[in-house]
Amino acid sequence: MDPSLNHLISQQTNPSSSRGGQHNDNNSGIQDEQVLMLVFRSMNFDPHVVSIAACVSRRHRAVAKRVLWRELCISRAPRMVTDLSSGAPVARSSSIGGGWHALAKLLFFCPGPGPGHGQAQGHFVQVSRFSKTSGKSFLHKKCWGDLLYVSDPCEHPVEGKEEDLGVYRGVFRGFMRSKTRACLISKQVQLESRVRCPYCGARVWSMTAANMVPKSASRRLGSYEEGLQYCVCVNGHLHGSCWLAHLSDDDGGGDGDGDEDGEECSDEDEDEDDGRIAF
């Protein structure tokens, strides 16, 4: 066992070890939090276990909200968190749109195909790959200055369909100050009345309705252009779906970036992406 963890547990179970032989109630909460941090760090902040712990009691839920979700994100996706926090101290929850709980859920949870596709329930994803290079393919050419991480699609077979439905998710850095948000507002795009973000519960814009889905997005995903759609919530979380095209032996594996509208994306920073995030 970690010596520091053993020491803290000893303090918790032997209150007389405090100064003067009396238990200091003012410090007990801090020690509990430190013990929880050490326990979950030893498990590399397993998202499933953190989720269970947050349901045990109000106290554990408060600790999870205050520190555990943040530490989970930092532990599992360090470069992604650094990018999203814009270099601000990661201890500030406000530096991440929608909060650390929403980001942790986005890293490991696929919302599922949704109603109408025969499989509405979401599920944990064992391995995810998030890429800001892929994210650039989802940005309108007027918004290329924004930073967006997007996952590879989670493939879902749909009864009666030859193609699989790909479900993907993503997150913007500093969405409140983004060009994408400014463009949505300047175009007076209305928020959807019946759709909510599966990660933070906020209202969303349909990028399809806003006519802001670039052709490079379907090429990046390997999907049919007419079957691709996604929404972005007011906190900058993205979720969407697409029909994944089956490649023949003659089809190439490239993304075919660039199109007749002058939209193109470079792979030159692919090695800077956060990469695979394992459950």
The string of pLDDT tens digits covering residues 109-140 is 999 886 656 555 788 888 889 999 999 999 99
Residues 30 and 132 in one domain: no
Among 62, 84, 106, which residue terminates a domain?
84
Residues 120 and 18 in one domain: no
Residues 257 and 184 in one domain: yes
Residues 80 and 120 in one domain: no
**Structural domain containing residue 32:** 3-84
Residues 269 and 142 in one domain: yes
Residues 70 and 157 in one domain: no
Residue 7: the pLDDT is: 42
Among 64, 84, 104, which residue terminates a domain?
84
Residues 181 and 256 in one domain: yes
Q: DSSP secondary-structure letter at 18?
A: S
Residue 120: the pLDDT is: 54
Any domain includes 96: no
Residues 235 and 160 in one domain: yes
| Structure tokens given for 7 | 């020491």
Residue 278: the pLDDT is: 66
Q: Note whether 100 and 69 are within 8 A (CB).
A: yes
Residues 214 and 266 in one domain: yes
| Structure tokens given for 193 | 């009345």
| Structure tokens given for 39 | 């326990």
Q: Note whether 80 and 272 are within 8 A (CB).
A: no
Any domain includes 248: yes
Residues 130 and 19 in one domain: no
Dist. CA 196–CA 143, nearest whole Å: 23
Any domain includes 107: no
Mean pLDDT per segment of 10 residues, for the chain of length 279 residues? 41 44 47 75 78 84 85 90 76 70 94 68 87 94 95 89 90 95 96 94 96 92 85 96 71 42 42 61
Dist. CA 95–CA 123, nearest whole Å: 27
Question: What's the domain count of the chain?
Answer: 2
Any domain includes 108: no
Report the phi/psi class of residue 240: left, alpha or beta, with left for phi > 0 and alpha for psi in -120 to 50: beta
Please report, to the nearest 10 degrees, the dihedral formed by the alpha carbons of residues 129, 68, 83, 123 taken in order: 30
Residue 162: the pLDDT is: 82
